[in-house]
Amino acid sequence: MKSILIERLGLVGANVAAVGMLGASPCFGQGASTAAVPEARPADSDPIQTLVGRLDLEKYKATIEALTQFGDRRQGTARNRAAIDWIEARLRSDGCTNTARLKYAYFPTDRQLPSGPPIARGAHAAVGGARYRGIQAPTGVNTDPLRQPDEKLRALNSEPATPGPREEVYCTKIGTRHPQEMYIVGAHMDGHGWGEAANDDGSGAALVMELARVFASPDVQTERSIRFVLWNNEETGLNGSWAYVAQRAALQGREDPPGSGKYPEPKWLGMIQHDMMLFDHGMPRADGTVSKEQRPEADVNIEFQSTAKRAEGAQQLAWAFYAANEAYATDYPAAVGPHMTNTDSTPFMDLVPAISLRESERGREIGAGWDPHWHQPTDLYATFTDPDFRLGLNAAQTSLGAIARLCGATVVK
């Protein structure tokens, strides 16, 4: 099996350890025509296993909890700006010291760019091209402060958004051999609904920060670069990620200043978004209620968008993440689906392979009410239990393993 795979990937004569490194060819979609899933078991001396082992459930939980001190972190408020300052300080103290901020402006009256592909609507149509099955429960965004019973949290969340300037923070692990190429690893740090945005998207933001911490360690080298981005304004229509694409797409791969070996915007090899990582309790029951327990068969949902111009490459990227889950995730498996939508990967999906990781599929599952805390006052750190947090940790193990393979990570003495 392995040798067939090596041949198919054009890796004849390569070290078997490279089997997992689909990213040895950064141009997804131009190589193997079928999705090749490498066999999963890492070698005993696998440096990537060492890196995955540096993720920790308690650290992940602590980062989510720390983000909730800023309430729902709604864009255009002081609590949102304070959260960005805190995230930047934390990235720097974790060793990711080359932080930068993208600046843009947001006005609700601006023309909104799409949050997903245009999809024909039918009786069972869900966003992203998915199809509803079984029982659906209502979803929506809570806008009523009085539904937040915690008066302190209600007060913290009380400042409304003001239109105007916005910022979002990122930092970059610079590649040693190919600094001019990078994968983008993202999550959105803003939220709404009068809770603490613990799951949406404290869970994704904390995942990205934990990966930044592990890769920033001085004994870790990667051949390619990795950019960690904490998007703002996701909840208003992906405005922060649309602004990034508008400002920076044309800068890709340029050495600046010439001859410096510095690439302010390395060429994009792929974009991986993390959004709501914790809660997979299954379909609502006939009465609309959802199980209080994480279902034992919970999984990490990896989605690409089949209508994207770069769908073929995105699909291969999705399978590379699936394979990394098989190799490195301790508790929960992964599933791949073709209906990625309503996520900060959308602005990238026609330009580069783009995927999202979530607790459930966005269209037919989250969109059908599988997560009753979504955009609600109950999206609180205290709502979730260790089996929930562990699903997020497994997504972190999946993404760390996949990105480490794709970027050629090693641990140096």
What is the nearest approach in angstroms of Zn ion to the Cβ of residue 376? Answer: 13
Please check whether residue 336 is in contact with residue 402, taking contact to mean a CB–CB distance below 8 angstroms.
Answer: no
Token output for 10: 């054009």
Contact string 125-164 vs Zn ion (x = CB under 5 A) = ----------------------------------------
By CB under 5 A, the count of residues binding Zn ion is 3
CA of residue 328 relative to chain centroid, distance: 17
Check binding of 201 to Zn ion (CB under 5 A).
yes
Given the rule CB under 5 A, which of 157-165, 193-201, 206-214, 375-383 is the region that contacts Zn ion? 193-201
Cβ proximity to Zn ion: between 201 and 326 the closer is 201
Among 94, 181, 200, 210, binds Zn ion (CB under 5 A): 200
What is the nearest approach in angstroms of Zn ion to the Cβ of residue 230? Answer: 12
Cβ proximity to Zn ion: between 200 and 371 the closer is 200
Check binding of 365 to Zn ion (CB under 5 A).
no
- Measured between alpha carbons, how far is residue 228 from residues 26, 139, 225, 237, 362 in Å? 18, 30, 10, 20, 22
Given the rule CB under 5 A, which of 131-139, 267-275, 349-357, 365-373 is the region that contacts Zn ion? 267-275
Cβ proximity to Zn ion: between 46 and 200 the closer is 200
What is the nearest approach in angstroms of Zn ion to the Cβ of residue 275? Answer: 4
Given the rule CB under 5 A, which of 16-24, 49-57, 200-208, 242-250 is the region that contacts Zn ion? 200-208
- Measured between alpha carbons, how far is residue 61 from residues 54, 204, 381 in Å? 14, 11, 9
Cβ proximity to Zn ion: between 200 and 210 the closer is 200
Given the rule CB under 5 A, which of 92-100, 116-124, 274-282, 318-326 is the region that contacts Zn ion? 274-282
Among 275, 299, 303, 371, binds Zn ion (CB under 5 A): 275
Cβ proximity to Zn ion: between 187 and 406 the closer is 187
d(CA 300, CA 329): 10
* Angle between helix 78-93 and 57-67 (nearest 10): 150
Cβ proximity to Zn ion: between 319 and 374 the closer is 374
Instruction: Using CA atoms of 393, 395, 401, 404 in order, give the dihedral in degrees to the nearest 10.
Output: -100
- Measured between alpha carbons, how far is residue 281 from residues 83, 192, 270, 292, 388 in Å? 29, 22, 30, 7, 9
Given the rule CB under 5 A, which of 29-37, 271-279, 307-315, 386-394 is the region that contacts Zn ion? 271-279
d(CA 241, CA 230): 9
Cβ proximity to Zn ion: between 223 and 371 the closer is 371
CB atoms closer than 10 angstroms to residue 254: 14
Q: Give the single-character DSSP code of 125.
A: B
> Using alpha carbons only, what angle is made at residue 243 by residues 241 and 244, rounded to the nearest 5 degrees?
65
Cβ proximity to Zn ion: between 265 and 275 the closer is 275
Check binding of 181 to Zn ion (CB under 5 A).
no
d(CA 267, CA 254): 8
Please check whether residue 274 is in contact with residue 357, taking contact to mean a CB–CB distance below 8 angstroms.
Answer: yes
Cβ proximity to Zn ion: between 172 and 376 the closer is 376
Token output for 361: 């599929």
Helical (H) or strand (E) element with 313: helix 311-328
What is the nearest approach in angstroms of Zn ion to the Cβ of residue 60? Answer: 17
Binding residues (CB under 5 A) for Zn ion: these are 200-201, 275
